Structure 1
Amino acid sequence: MENLALIESFSEFKDDKMIDRVTLMAILEDVFRNALKKKYGSDDNFDIIINPDKGDLEIWRNRVVVADGEVEDPNEEISLSEARKIEDDFEVGEDVSEEVKLIDLGRRSILALRQNLISKIHEHDNTNIYKQFKELEGDIYTAEVHHIRHRAVILLDDEGNEIILPKEKQIPSDFFRKGDNVRGIIESVELKGNKPAIIMSRASPIFLEKLFEQEIPEVFDGLINVKKVVRIPGEKAKVAVDSYDDRIDPVGACVGMKGSRIHGIVRELGNENIDVINYTNNLNLFITRALSPAKVTSINIDDENKRAEVILKPEEVSKAIGRGGHNIRLAGQLTGYEIDVLREGAEEDVELTEFSDEIEDWIINEFKKIGLDTAKSVLEKDISFLVNGTDLEEETIQEVVNILKEEFEE
């Protein structure tokens, strides 16, 4: 056929895009029928025969022979004299099949047809990519750094699919170079226009859970169950694990001899500190374990308000709170209870709420978020610790400290 560039591209599309034969033929026929509608007004009386393997295509127009001068629809009817130019023995009422050369459609139509074909192929590809990655949501995936932008890292997988790792989905210590292999979970897949937007996350708790499945055979095999994971990405995480087999120590199996099993996970997460905890339905015991490494003296639980009042020896309080308040915050997220820390024998101390006339409630709440709810608990901490652990300015913290000091100086 005359339109070699278009025909030769059939095999090229099939090979490059890995489209199955039936799908390719359906796309090609749809594209050509649209072109015929534009040219002739209707495609109902056309037969399209496609052989995508050979890059071959035939189009036949079927018309009825009518007497000269009686042609009403030139697309569906042909005059007797015109029909006899094709074959000289045609008679009125017979059907005529005539091959339509693509060159007859005109150069502009052929160019538009090719563009339409490319568009349909891309649309098909994008739909398939969307379906493929939608099924991978929540799974670990590896791709290579292709481009580093201010707000995101653009990754490409082995098939050239683009995956976006936004800044807020990265671990704060992450540092990538072009060509690096990056692991994360496929967090979400959406169609924006006709193009799939594939978002990867390394900051999600699910990523840590999937790493446990990938790195620890007993978790992969279902002998150990990861009940819940909470994280402050790059800083600290707590993982509650359980086993249905009493012979298996779930924490020991996850951590390994001298931390050998969990070491690879910690390294993958930028040296994130991971506490692995035995899950239990005993809430008192679960909260006690969640506050590890602190040793809890006693606990009072308010189930209605989902609060737990935890009493510790003074030297255990800082362990329970942790650097920047991370430990107590994660323990609360893991157990689902807001945890208030009280010092054992702190009768001479004063609750921060007693200073509500001088200190605004929202400021008091900032201290409570990191387990500091008494005057002495605040005064025992360095200013730098309080600045890092709260959303308060250093000047505000200093004013609070001065107010609290006056109480004990009196």
Structure 2
Amino acid sequence: MENLALIDSFSEFKDDKQIDRVTLMAILEDVFRNALKKKYGSDDNFDIIVNPDKGDLEIWRNRVVVADDEVEDPNEEISLTEARKIEDDFEVGEDVSEEVKLIDLGRRSILALRQNLISKIHEHDNTIIYKQFKDLEGEIYTAEVHHIRHRAVILLDDEGNEIILPKDKQIPSDFFRKGDNVRGIIESVELKGNKPSIIMSRANPVFLEKLFEQEIPEVYDGLITVKKVVRIPGEKAKVAVDSYDDRIDPVGACVGMKGSRIHGIVRELGNENIDVINYTTNINLFITRALSPARVTSVKLNEETKRAEVILRPEEVSKAIGRGGHNIRLAGQLTGYEIDVLREGAEEDVELTEFSDEIEGWIIDEFKKIGLDTAKSVLDYDLKDLVSRTDLEEETIQEVISILKEEFEE
């Protein structure tokens, strides 16, 4: 029958999209009812019988027999003469059930029905994909590079689902070729129209946390807890770890013998420098550990402003600040405190802001970006180091150094 032929023509969708037969039948019924409403004005008096085992579908229209000159609604009423063409013993007031063939809907309606059915199947499929990936948010996923664009890499998984890895979600050193397998976390899933938009990230701190779970058995088993992760993707990261079992050294277990365990993670992240730190609720100690590899002399906290003054020996300051100010910035993010670095004997030092009459504010801000906020902190650095660490011209830095030196020569 025509109905069965139409159903069978959509078997390709069932196979390609892995849509089960029962769901396909439910979609079919919904689409047919919409077609009936358009054709007859209402589908209330129609019975649609779906047999998912056979893949069959029947449509029956139920009408009441009335006298030939009393038909007011042709959809719900049938004249006695027309009824007796179906069966010759019908009488006025009886119910007539008549099967509706696809051809009765008209060629245009059938084409519209087909398009609507395709749309419904795609919509159902997209909803399934959306729910599937929504459950995977925050989890590691692997997909293959399909297309490389200027602002994003388009990935496809084994089922042909499209995943987007935007440029700002990549590690700066990432370089991909078509066919490469890429790992990242599913960062967000949204429905844009009826199509799911799946975004992957390799720059999110959660990616590093999940790599620890994947690569370090004690973290996976829950013996070691990753308390917090902060990152500057591709440059440096700090990971605070803890264990409820005093017999376990969480840092040692994560790093492994000669760095064997963490090496794979570092390689995955483009040789990102990873500091693994023992977590503690003692904030002074936590800040001290967070500023590793620098050795801190003392820490003074201001709980109200969430600031910490850290005293270090002059030779430890550059270690605390780190290249480009990365170390001190990440230490602040990890501990939740704004960290001010002071040198031992800083009472003889002078704040850079005291020179605002001679040095422009934006120049002072450039030094502050790398943790240098006093005269001596700037003078402790070699000229070439200051040029490489800041966005200032060498001539500008020389002028600043001359001004600062005059202060201490007076």
Question: Taking structure 2 as the reference length, what is the TM-score of the superposition?
Answer: 0.94
Structure 2 CA distance, aligned partners of 1:70 and 1:386? 99
Q: Over aligned residue pairs, what C-alpha RMSD do you find?
A: 2.0
- 1:397 is displaced (CA, Å) by 4.2
- Larger CA deviation: 27-36 vs 310-319: 310-319
Structure 2 CA distance, aligned partners of 1:162 and 1:395? 51
Structure 1 CA distance, aligned partners of 2:381 and 2:77? 96
> Does the CA contact (< 8 Å) of 1:231 and 1:237 recur in 2?
yes
Structure 2 CA distance, aligned partners of 1:388 and 1:92? 99
Judging changes above 3 Å, is the alpha-carbon distance between structure 1 residues 80 and 202 closer, same or farther for their aligned structure 2 residues?
same
Note the alpha carbon deviations across 1:93-139, whole angstroms, 9 max, x for none. 22111111111211111111111111111111111211111111111
Structure 2 CA distance, aligned partners of 1:118 and 1:397? 68
Judging changes above 3 Å, is the alpha-carbon distance between structure 1 residues 95 and 343 closer, same or farther for their aligned structure 2 residues?
same
Structure 2 CA distance, aligned partners of 1:218 and 1:362? 48
- 1:316 is displaced (CA, Å) by 1.1
Which residue number in structure 2 is paired with residue 212 of structure 1? 212
- 1:311 is displaced (CA, Å) by 1.5
Judging changes above 3 Å, is the alpha-carbon distance between structure 1 residues 158 and 56 closer, same or farther for their aligned structure 2 residues?
same
Note the alpha carbon deviations across 1:44-74, whole angstroms, 9 max, x for none. 1111122345443221111111111221111
Helix, strand or coil at the partner of 1:63: strand
- Larger CA deviation: 273-282 vs 92-101: 92-101
Structure 1 CA distance, aligned partners of 2:183 and 2:386? 35
- 1:384 is displaced (CA, Å) by 5.4
Judging changes above 3 Å, is the alpha-carbon distance between structure 1 residues 238 and 97 closer, same or farther for their aligned structure 2 residues?
same
Note the alpha carbon deviations across 1:351-379, whole angstroms, 9 max, x for none. 21221222344542432232212223223
Which residue number in structure 1 is paired with residue 276 of structure 2? 276
- 1:383 is displaced (CA, Å) by 5.0
- 1:32 is displaced (CA, Å) by 0.4
Structure 1 CA distance, aligned partners of 2:142 and 2:162? 12
Which residue number in structure 2 is paired with residue 404 of structure 1? 404
Which residue number in structure 1 is paired with residue 25 of structure 2? 25
- 1:258 is displaced (CA, Å) by 0.3
- Larger CA deviation: 176-185 vs 387-396: 387-396
> Does the CA contact (< 8 Å) of 1:324 and 1:385 recur in 2?
no
Structure 2 CA distance, aligned partners of 1:358 and 1:388? 23
> Does the CA contact (< 8 Å) of 1:145 and 1:177 recur in 2?
yes
Judging changes above 3 Å, is the alpha-carbon distance between structure 1 residues 183 and 84 closer, same or farther for their aligned structure 2 residues?
same
Judging changes above 3 Å, is the alpha-carbon distance between structure 1 residues 356 and 94 closer, same or farther for their aligned structure 2 residues?
same
- Larger CA deviation: 148-157 vs 122-131: 122-131
> Does the CA contact (< 8 Å) of 1:11 and 1:54 recur in 2?
no
Helix, strand or coil at the partner of 2:10: helix
Helix, strand or coil at the partner of 2:347: coil
> Does the CA contact (< 8 Å) of 2:213 and 2:219 recur in 1?
yes
Judging changes above 3 Å, is the alpha-carbon distance between structure 1 residues 134 and 396 closer, same or farther for their aligned structure 2 residues?
farther
Question: Taking structure 1 as the reference length, what is the TM-score of the superposition?
Answer: 0.94
Judging changes above 3 Å, is the alpha-carbon distance between structure 1 residues 400 and 108 closer, same or farther for their aligned structure 2 residues?
farther
Structure 2 CA distance, aligned partners of 1:277 and 1:187? 26
> Does the CA contact (< 8 Å) of 2:22 and 2:52 recur in 1?
no
Judging changes above 3 Å, is the alpha-carbon distance between structure 1 residues 43 and 314 closer, same or farther for their aligned structure 2 residues?
same
Which residue number in structure 2 is paired with residue 347 of structure 1? 347
Helix, strand or coil at the partner of 2:48: strand
> Does the CA contact (< 8 Å) of 1:211 and 1:265 recur in 2?
yes
> Does the CA contact (< 8 Å) of 1:9 and 1:55 recur in 2?
no
Judging changes above 3 Å, is the alpha-carbon distance between structure 1 residues 139 and 391 closer, same or farther for their aligned structure 2 residues?
farther
Note the alpha carbon deviations across 1:148-178, whole angstroms, 9 max, x for none. 1111111111111111111001000001111
* Counterparts of residues 376-395 of structure 1 (less than 5 Å): 376-383=376-383, 385-386=385-386, 389-390=389-390
Helix, strand or coil at the partner of 2:2: coil
> Does the CA contact (< 8 Å) of 2:4 and 2:56 recur in 1?
no
- Larger CA deviation: 319-328 vs 249-258: 319-328
> Does the CA contact (< 8 Å) of 1:10 and 1:52 recur in 2?
no
Judging changes above 3 Å, is the alpha-carbon distance between structure 1 residues 75 and 289 closer, same or farther for their aligned structure 2 residues?
same
> Does the CA contact (< 8 Å) of 2:4 and 2:57 recur in 1?
no
Structure 2 CA distance, aligned partners of 1:170 and 1:382? 34
- 1:203 is displaced (CA, Å) by 0.5
- 1:341 is displaced (CA, Å) by 1.3
Judging changes above 3 Å, is the alpha-carbon distance between structure 1 residues 200 and 44 closer, same or farther for their aligned structure 2 residues?
same
Helix, strand or coil at the partner of 2:197: strand
Helix, strand or coil at the partner of 1:125: helix
Judging changes above 3 Å, is the alpha-carbon distance between structure 1 residues 319 and 115 closer, same or farther for their aligned structure 2 residues?
same
Helix, strand or coil at the partner of 2:342: strand
> Does the CA contact (< 8 Å) of 1:11 and 1:55 recur in 2?
no
- 1:7 is displaced (CA, Å) by 2.6
Structure 1 CA distance, aligned partners of 2:374 and 2:322? 17
> Does the CA contact (< 8 Å) of 1:230 and 1:330 recur in 2?
yes
- 1:218 is displaced (CA, Å) by 0.5
> Does the CA contact (< 8 Å) of 2:3 and 2:56 recur in 1?
no
Structure 2 CA distance, aligned partners of 1:256 and 1:244? 19
> Does the CA contact (< 8 Å) of 2:130 and 2:190 recur in 1?
yes
Note the alpha carbon deviations across 1:309-363, whole angstroms, 9 max, x for none. 1111121111111111111111111111111112223455432122122234454
- 1:299 is displaced (CA, Å) by 1.8
Judging changes above 3 Å, is the alpha-carbon distance between structure 1 residues 403 and 171 closer, same or farther for their aligned structure 2 residues?
same
The percentage of counterpart residues that share the same residue type is 91
- 1:392 is displaced (CA, Å) by 5.0
- 1:304 is displaced (CA, Å) by 1.8
Which residue number in structure 1 is paired with residue 10 of structure 2? 10
Note the alpha carbon deviations across 1:199-224, whole angstroms, 9 max, x for none. 11110111111111111111111111
- 1:382 is displaced (CA, Å) by 4.5
Judging changes above 3 Å, is the alpha-carbon distance between structure 1 residues 399 and 98 closer, same or farther for their aligned structure 2 residues?
farther
Which residue number in structure 1 is paired with residue 147 of structure 2? 147
* Counterparts of residues 118-137 of structure 1 (less than 5 Å): 118-137=118-137
> What is the total number of aligned residue pairs between the two structures?
410
Structure 2 CA distance, aligned partners of 1:191 and 1:297? 53
- 1:248 is displaced (CA, Å) by 0.3
Unaligned runs of 5+ in 2: none
